[in-house]
Amino acid sequence: MKVFRIAPTKPYTGGAAYVAAKNTEEAIATFCEEDYKKYEYEEASCECNRVANMSYDIDRPFVIFDDLYLE
């Protein structure tokens, strides 16, 4: 699967999350499955972009790493 980076764009936010998914929409949906992560995604005005030349060997969408934070 492709790897996507979810990163905040608002001030006083930081970190990032990496998600293995087939496309951008699936990456966002996978990250936002939990209510708090959905809140973080919306509140921090996150953007989701594919990480070039990176893949993850898995059959289903998966949050690889999440270090996103809000202050």
- How do residues 42-61 score in pLDDT, each as one tens digit? 999 999 999 999 999 999 99
Question: What whole-number distance in Å separates Cα of residue 71 and Cα of residue 13?
Answer: 6
State residue 63's pLDDT score: 97
Spans of the chain below 50 pLDDT: none
Query: Does the reported pTM lie above 0.75?
Result: yes
- Name the residue among 53, 51, 52 with its Cα closest to residue 64: 51
State residue 18's pLDDT score: 98
